Amino acid sequence: MTLSDEELDALATDFIRTAVAEDTKSGRFDRRVRTRFPPEPNGYLHIGHAKALNIDAGIARDFGGKFNLRFDDTNPVKEEEEYVDGIVNDVRWLGWDFGNEIFFASDYFEQMVVWAEQLIEQGDAYVDDLSPQEIREYRGTLVEPGENSPYRDRSVGENLDLFRRMRAGEFPEEACVLRAKIDMASPNLNMRDPVMYRILHQSHHRQGDQWCIYPMYDWAHGLEDSIERVTHSLCDLGYRDHRPLYDWFLDRLGIYHPQQIEFARLFMTYTVLSKRKLLQLVEGEHVQGWDDPRMPTLTGMRRRGYPPEAINAFCDRIGVSTANSVVDVALLEHAVREQLNEHAQRVMGVLDPVKVVIDSYPEDQVEWMEVDNHPQRPGLGKRTVPFSREIYIEREDFMEDPPRKYYRLAPGKEVRLMNAYLVQYKTIVKDEEGNIVEIHCTHDPNSRGGEAPDGRRVRGTLHWVSAAHALDAEVRLYDRLFIKENPEEAAEGETFLNNLNSNSLEVQQGCKLEPSVAEAQPGDCLQFMRVGYFAVDPDSTAEQLLFNRTIQLRDTWAKIQSQAQTPRKKG
RNA sequence: UGGGGCGUGGCCAAGUGGUAAGGCAACGGACUUUGAAUCCGUGUAUCGCACGUUCGAAUCGUGCCGCCCCAGCCA
């Protein structure tokens, strides 16, 4: 697929795409586009990675190019197979096409050594015997230049011999390293003779014990990109200062040279996105694992019920720039609601049930009401829902002494039971503690389906579930994990862990769901009308239904009420 | 005090010399068998600040201020 210059111009929607379009038009890379996503398999992917993926893979897709999924597995001490599988799974879930070929940096180790020897022969690299501590001291500081290592001027022959012996396993860890010979006085610390290889007597998750020297990121990354003929190597702003080094290695080697371009990482309100902190949440058991629905990990969001389309739509909307910014989590939630509103089937479920007895309704009668699966999308079909004399409604849908503008059930009021009947309040029954046990109503038999026979206006419409047919379920209600917009903002001596929301998980037992819900499969996300979206948990069974609240519906009534309690200040 | 990057309404973000897109949020209203969705409407944005160049600057120049990143044998 070859794009015309006009088509390329149309794709130049942000600074990276503009650069890619220009390079393609100029023929710099033979009008070819190839990107890559290079995670290190040392943790699970999170929403920030979804942004990177959206840029990397999205550009390849839009420019008719190719996209490589490549594991940057150059550090055996931190990496595990478990993470490889998890990451592949997440990338697939988001829907990105990586051609079903998975690349591994470790597959290039042999070629990297050949190139390292080339650099040694050119006098561009040397084996340094300084200890880690000494290397740090020789490096200088931000404002002082570094000093040359006393081993910097070894002969090519000696360097080659030493490097080969490093590889052969003759030295213990930390005995020596291979370094690039650049400039110890460079104002860019990355250029002060960076380490290329360190000795690690560790077995690698894919290479086993074949290696005892492992390449450092700066040395390895450009080579990986070069081998894969990547055209544009996109990474986060943190690597901006590394680009001169990326270019230096490729130039010295005289090999195919991709273009590195950096963009800002994603930050979001009420969430933390650093691997270290996410790991702390898991290991400190502040959440129940990487896939806890409160986690910003892709596996967590999947369990929560967030559709992958929503995550990608979110990434499309936040844009790409080089400014550090904090995106409002409400934007993500908006994308989730938008997707779910369009696609989620509607059902009725009562989270906090209170029984309603319709005195006027025949005792043993059951009517199966025909109901739309999605009122705005008739194409999604219909189902039947049983109605009977005793039903459950939401406890908060009845008030003995309601405030103004409350148009749910209350003394003297008539409401509509969605798709069933109009009912009128009669009386209530309380237990000794004063809790409402039953609400008694009468129905208008001429209102079957919920239509008022005389056209009278009935404002309130409630969801309900027939008591005799109700399915019991446990529903987990999730709220944001942190109470502060910026979780890092902690008092003296405190950390982000002090900003954890102690009410981020509320388990609700004894919820009552309409029987059709039994057919839902793990992962399915349904709208419980008037309440929110709920996803079937992977642990859910026919005996114990388990739902995770994905997200609430917008709740204008709740907003009105909270405003009534705390009036907004007027200036 | 070194180097790199960034500063456009509450939050993102277009715009690259011709007189400030769009989305989210917020706030009104219409409609409504989801107080949802949908629809309509609402913002005097000192374009970080100050000088300067120009007929004209968010866009160019100079100076200043603020924020972020870099001193791993991590990526």
Active-site annotation of A, residues: 40, 265, 275
Percentage above 70 pLDDT, chain A: 99
Residue with CA nearest C1' of nucleotide B24: A331
Percentage above 90 pLDDT, chain A: 96
Q: pLDDT tens, A9-54?
A: 999 999 999 999 999 999 999 999 999 999 999 999 999 999 999 9
Q: What is the pLDDT of residue A254?
A: 98
Q: Of all nucleotides in the shown strands, which has a C1' nearest the CA of A132? A: B73
The residues with which A545 forms a beta bridge, in sequence order, are A473
Q: Of all nucleotides in the shown strands, which has a C1' nearest the CA of A341? A: B37
Mean of the per-residue pLDDT values of chain A: 96
Q: What is the pLDDT of residue A492?
A: 81
Q: pLDDT tens, A508-537?
A: 999 999 999 999 999 999 999 999 999 999
Q: What is the pLDDT of residue A1?
A: 64
Q: Are A534 and A347 in contact (CB under 8 A)?
A: no
A570 pLDDT above the threshold of 60: no
Residue with CA nearest C1' of nucleotide B33: A418
Amino acid at A565: Q
pTM of the model: 0.96
CA A176 to CA A152: how far, in whole Å?
Answer: 12
Q: Are A129 and A137 in contact (CB under 8 A)?
A: no
Q: pLDDT tens, A81-120?
A: 999 999 999 999 999 999 989 999 999 999 999 999 999 9
Nucleotides of chain B touched by protein CB (<7 A): 1-8, 10-16, 22-27, 33-38, 67-75
Q: Which residues are CB-neighbours of A556 under 8 A, at least 6 positions away?
A: none
CA distances (Å), A27 to each of A188, A223, A280, A362, in order? 32, 22, 47, 80
Q: What is the pLDDT of residue A563?
A: 80
Q: pLDDT tens, A370-415?
A: 999 999 999 999 999 999 999 999 999 999 999 999 999 999 999 9
Q: Which residues are CB-neighbours of A329 under 8 A, at least 6 positions away?
A: A268, A269, A270, A271, A480
> What is the CA A186 to C1' B10 distance in angstroms?
43
Instruction: Kindly write down the DSSP assignment for every residue of A84-133, as one continuous string.
Output: HHHHHHHHHHTT---TT-EEEGGGGHHHHHHHHHHHHHTTSEEEE---HH
Instruction: Kindly write down the DSSP assignment for every residue of A291-359, as one continuous string.
Output: T-TTSSBHHHHHHHT--HHHHHHHHHHH---SS-EEE-HHHHHHHHHHHHHHHPEEE-EESSEEEEEET
Confidence of residue A571 (pLDDT cuts 50, 70, 90): very low
> What is the CA A566 to C1' B26 distance in angstroms?
16
Instruction: Identify the sign of the CA torsion A462, A463, A466, A472.
Output: negative
CA A265 to CA A296: how far, in whole Å?
Answer: 14
Confidence of residue A568 (pLDDT cuts 50, 70, 90): very low
Q: Are A117 and A178 in contact (CB under 8 A)?
A: no
> What is the CA A35 to C1' B74 distance in angstroms?
23
CA A373 to CA A5: how far, in whole Å?
Answer: 46
Mean pLDDT, range A283-308, rounded to an integer: 98
Mean pLDDT, range A176-204, rounded to an integer: 98
Residue with CA nearest C1' of nucleotide B75: A217
> What is the CA A49 to C1' B6 distance in angstroms?
22
A569 pLDDT above the threshold of 70: no
CA A133 to CA A125: how far, in whole Å?
Answer: 20
ipTM of the complex: 0.96
* Backbone φ, ψ for residue A182 (5° rounding): -120, -85
